[in-house]
Amino acid sequence: MELTGAEITIRCLQEEGVEYIFGYPGGAVLFIYDELFKQEQVKHVLVRHEQAAVHAADGYARSTDKVGVALVTSGPGVTNAVTGIATAYMDSIPLVVISGQVPTSYIGEDAFQEVDAVGITRPCVKHNFLVKDAKDIASTLKKAFYLAKSGRPGPVLVDIPKDVSQQKVAYSYPAAVNIRSYNPQVHGDVDLIKRAAQLLLDAKRPMVYAGGGVILSDASKQLTELVRLLGVPCTNTLMGLGGYPATDKQFVGMLGMHGTYEANLGMQNCDVLLAVGARFDDRVIGNVSHFNSVPRKIIHIDIDPASISKRVKVDVPIVGDVAHVLSDLLAVLHSSKQKPDAAVLKDWWKQIDEWRGANSMSYRNSSEVIKPQYVIETLHKITHGDAFVTSDVGQHQMWTAQYYKFDQPRRWINSGGLGTMGFGLPAAMGVQLAHPGATVACVTGEGSIQMNIQELSTCKQFRLPIKVIALNNRYLGMVRQWQEFFHGNRYSQSYMDALPDFVKLAEAYGHVGILVEKPSDVEGALKEAFARKNELVFLDFRTDSTENVYPMVPGGKGLSEVILAEDL
Amino acid sequence: MRHIISLLMENEAGALSRVAGLFSARGYNIESLTVAPTEDQTMSRMTIVTSGSDEVIEQINKQLNKLVDVVTVMDLTDGVHIERELMLVKVRALGDAREELKRISDIFEGRIIDVSDRTYTIELTGAGSKLDNFLQAIDHNLILETVRTGASGIGCGERILKL
């Protein structure tokens, strides 16, 4: 059977069970769009900007365990997609991005809408391909899906020149994929797992620090069982929230720059640290030499060997899939005669509870001005902690991470590594499409939302009843906070003048807008918004413009060198 | 410390730029980099000379292994190995210098591969330090141009880099 490259492309997506593809048409992908038109299995979601296509595919992938798929044209289509690709790369999100390319005979001639897509995306993809012959499309797409999802996940770009999408060749979809140079290790080393178990059982001040790898590996069940079995405190990174239930008493909160006092001091003072699918990021452990100044044994479980001993020297490096390794570790612990020492742990918990007593997440609510923390707490209450929550980047992101207690994985969707403003709304579109009946909220700021505000139009077209929770403080809040702390209150370019009337803007796009100016109206407005089950509601909360995110470990400082709200 | 890393990678367009891009993106040093297809036409072998602390070298090895096109990586410096580099030097060869250059070239086991009435082109093979020593040994003012391949390396005895 002979098919065109474009037909093959769509067939492959069908074979992979792709439900939604997020994209934007253009010259180089016209044949592929023509084939999309002729079938119904793969549903296309037309965004308003290619960056949003990739973020939407990303949100879809993060909230499910599937690969997100985006389709963009050559040239500006690809360059617009780059921010989305880099966002997914930094957070290890499985995506396949298909880009059109100018015809092969034009490549290198500076043709109209030509850009070296493979070259431009190389540093921010797991892998990429330029397909020069239609007979390679099926095997390349098969590899792309496999690479995206296996090992440490990540985005894979497949660049298809226009003439290749037109070319007719014989088609068959490969049943299996074999890449001789790529064999991710799934199972951890048995001896190392035994050593890890022994260290944890002998520890006096053990601590579990779990990151996004737990979510990606769908290992929160194993993690929860392990933490409870050991009776130890557990902290999650920004990317790991929901990996361990946040309302559980053994959860000490998020750690890092805006982590709780008890999580950060626990991290600094523990004698055995079990790091699970986390990478000792600068926003997590702060100053490396300060972190290393205290002796402790570190066990690190990660699927990516390059993440181990990258920033911090590790004593027990276990390369493998987090879910598999944790299952094996649990088996070793269950079969061991030695049990965790309750008396020793009691002393450790006494210390943890003392740090907890600092109440680092407390804030002073106000009846005059809306406190952003209060909005998030109320959001948690109204949605019974059961919503999918996306965010943009800045103060609102940190407050959501701190005050929305995520008890389940894949509910908290944010750009942690790259810190991409404009991520929240398109990501929420992908989440809502993946979970049609679910409650989806996008917490954002008046700065971030304007970076992809055009997607309100996509939301209208596809009837996505997202609730946009804008914490509007008239400032680029996180920038303003740093300027207050470290730049002598010189608020250089962080004040946003001439903001749009967001209520009217929402209405202009065919949605509902609600302005909320008083603390006493917060709960009612949220209730009203979530009662409108089939409509997108844009809530413009005018929040306290001077509020800061606490606690804060300033950049370059150690985890115990923290600024608490009460210090000021 | 200086390390010499050998790797096998898929002989595909763009594979070289993935390795070169990795080094520049992560701020690693490259002293030299050589690459050519092997007896198996689907694979190329690359030799990279780099330097860095033990931690940096460990990361370089891991990051290279992580590249999908890279089949296998060996740090030759971890064991006994041989490295060789080829250099071509064109020198001004007039009068007395003509005989002297020939003599020094012989000492270094060089070969004169091109002769004109005013120049010699000398071919030399050896470890990088030997080539450096040769350039030190001849009159600097006589050197017209030099071209070096960068080091190629191979493990000794049963140390074999193969798929």
Q: Which residues of B103-118 are buried (b: 16+ CB within 10 A; e: fewer)?
A: ebbeebebeeeeeeee
Report yes or no: B9 at the A interface, CB cutoff 8 Å: yes
Taking residues A272-283, report their average pLDDT.
96
The distance of B122 to chain A (nearest Cα, Å) reads 38
Q: Kindly report the pTM of this predicted structure.
A: 0.96
The distance of A180 to chain B (nearest Cα, Å) reads 7
Here the tokens at position A451 are: 């970076």
Triad A475, A481, A485: Cα angle to 5°: 145
For residue A538, indicate whether it is catalytic: no
Amino acid, res. A289: S
Choose among B17, B63, B72: nearest Cβ to A122. B17
Q: Please give the DSSP secondary-structure letter assigned to residue A475.
A: B
Write down the catalytic residue from A7, A16, A50, A455: A50
Q: Which stretch of DSSP H or E encloses residue A129?
A: strand A127-130
Helix residue ranges per DSSP H, A383-440: 395-403, 424-434
Report yes or no: B68 at the A interface, CB cutoff 8 Å: yes
pLDDT exceeds cutoff 80 at A566:
no
Report yes or no: B146 at the A interface, CB cutoff 8 Å: no
Cβ <8 Å between A122 and B21: yes
Here the tokens at position A420 are: 């991409």
Amino acid, res. A279: R
Here the tokens at position A142 are: 């098969």
Choose among B14, B62, B68: nearest Cβ to A306. B62
Q: Could you tell me which chain B residue has the CA closest to the CA of A314?
A: B55
Q: Could you tell me which chain A residue has the CA closest to the CA of B21?
A: A123
Please, what is the average pLDDT of chain A? Answer: 97
Taking residues A453-458, report their average pLDDT.
98
The distance of B79 to chain A (nearest Cα, Å) reads 22
The pLDDT of residue A160 is: 98
Of A501, A543, A538, A533, nearest to A425 by C-alpha is A538
Residue B4 and residue B79 in contact, taking contact as beta carbons nearer than 8 Å: no
Which residues lie across from A69 on neighbouring strands?
A96
Q: Which stretch of DSSP H or E encloses residue B101?
A: helix B96-107
Q: Could you tell me which chain B residue has the CA closest to the CA of A313?
A: B55
Residue A317 and residue A192 in contact, taking contact as beta carbons nearer than 8 Å: yes
A398-401 contacts at long range (C-beta below 8 A, 24 or more positions apart): A398/A258, A398/A478, A398/A549, A399/A372, A399/A373, A399/A443, A399/A471, A399/A549, A400/A376, A400/A443, A401/A238, A401/A241, A401/A254, A401/A258
State pLDDT tens for residues A30-71: 999 999 999 999 999 999 999 999 999 999 999 999 999 999
For residue A162, indicate whether it is catalytic: yes
Q: Which chain A residues contact residue B66 at CB under 8 A?
A: 304-306
The pLDDT of residue B13 is: 87
Q: Which chain B residues contact residue A182 at CB under 8 A?
A: 68
Chosen from B26, B66, B69 to mutate, greatest number of chain A CBs within 10 A = B66
CA B108 distance to own-chain centroid:
18
Q: Which chain B residues contact residue A304 at CB under 8 A?
A: 66
Distance CA A372, CA A473 (A): 9
Cβ <8 Å between A181 and B70: yes
For residue A113, indicate whether it is catalytic: yes
State pLDDT tens for residues B108-159: 999 999 999 999 999 999 999 999 999 999 999 999 999 999 999 999 999 9
Distance CA A186, CA A194 (A): 17
Instruction: Quickly state the pLDDT bin for B26 (edges 50, 70, 90).
Output: very high
Number of H helices, E strands in chain B: 4, 9
Q: Which chain A residues contact residue B21 at CB under 8 A?
A: 122-123
Instruction: Quickly state the pLDDT bin for A565 (edges 50, 70, 90).
Output: confident
State pLDDT tens for residues A3-32: 999 999 999 999 999 999 999 999 999 999
Q: What share of chain B is helix, strand, coil (3-state, %, to 5)?
A: 30, 40, 30
pLDDT exceeds cutoff 70 at A568:
no
Residue A16 and residue A38 in contact, taking contact as beta carbons nearer than 8 Å: no
Burial tier of A531 (Cβ tally within 10 Å: 0-12, 13-18, 19+)? exposed
Choose among B10, B55, B59: nearest Cβ to A181. B10
C-alpha distances (whole Å) from A563 to each of A253, A263, A367, A568 are 17, 14, 26, 8
For tokens 């499985």, name the residue: A94
Of A303, A312, A308, nearest to A284 by C-alpha is A312
pLDDT exceeds cutoff 80 at A567:
no
- Between helix B15-25 and helix B54-66 the angle, nearest 10°, is 150
The distance of A44 to chain B (nearest Cα, Å) reads 30
C-alpha distances (whole Å) from B109 to each of A65, B92, B104, B118, B135 are 64, 19, 9, 22, 13
The distance of B68 to chain A (nearest Cα, Å) reads 6
HSE (CB half, 13 Å, CA atoms) of B39?
A: 3
Please give the backbone phi and psi of residue A549, each rounded to the nearest 5 degrees, phi first: -90, 120
Neighbours of A306 (CB within 10 A): 19
List of residues 6+ apart from A371 with CB closer than 8 A: A363, A364, A365, A519, A543, A544, A547
Distance CA B127, CA B120 (A): 22
State pLDDT tens for residues A152-198: 999 999 999 999 999 999 999 999 999 999 999 999 999 999 999 99
Report yes or no: B10 at the A interface, CB cutoff 8 Å: yes
Backbone dihedral region of A410: left (phi > 0), alpha (psi from -120 to 50 degrees) or beta?
left
Cβ <8 Å between B68 and A181: yes
Q: What share of chain A is helix, strand, coil (3-state, %, to 5)?
A: 40, 15, 40
Choose among A119, A182, A305: nearest Cβ to B62. A305
Taking residues A205-225, report their average pLDDT.
98
Please give the backbone phi and psi of residue A410, each rounded to the nearest 5 degrees, phi first: 65, 20
Cβ <8 Å between A180 and B71: yes
Residue A429 and residue A406 in contact, taking contact as beta carbons nearer than 8 Å: no
State pLDDT tens for residues A400-442: 999 999 999 999 999 999 999 999 999 999 999 999 999 999 9
Q: Which residues of B82-102 are buried (b: 16+ CB within 10 A; e: fewer)?
A: ebbbbbbbbbebeeebbeebe
Contacting B residues, span 96-135, partner chain A, CB-CB under 8 Å: none
Amino acid, res. A347: D
The distance of A465 to chain B (nearest Cα, Å) reads 40
Q: Which chain B residues contact residue A136 at CB under 8 A?
A: none
Instruction: Quickly state the pLDDT bin for B163 (edges 50, 70, 90).
Output: confident
Q: Which residues of A174-193 are buried (b: 16+ CB within 10 A; e: fewer)?
A: eeeeeeebbeebeebbeebb
Instruction: Quickly state the pLDDT bin for A497 (edges 50, 70, 90).
Output: confident
Pairing of strands B119-126, B81-92: antiparallel
The distance of A302 to chain B (nearest Cα, Å) reads 13
Write down the catalytic residue from A14, A112, A518, A527: A112
Please, what is the average pLDDT of chain B? Answer: 96
Cβ <8 Å between A147 and B70: no
CA A77 distance to own-chain centroid:
23
Q: Which chain B residues contact residue A309 at CB under 8 A?
A: 55, 58
Q: What is the largest CA-CA distance in chain A?
A: 74
pLDDT exceeds cutoff 90 at A1:
no
Taking residues A293-308, report their average pLDDT.
96
Across the A:B interface, residue pairs with CB atoms under 8 Å apart total 39
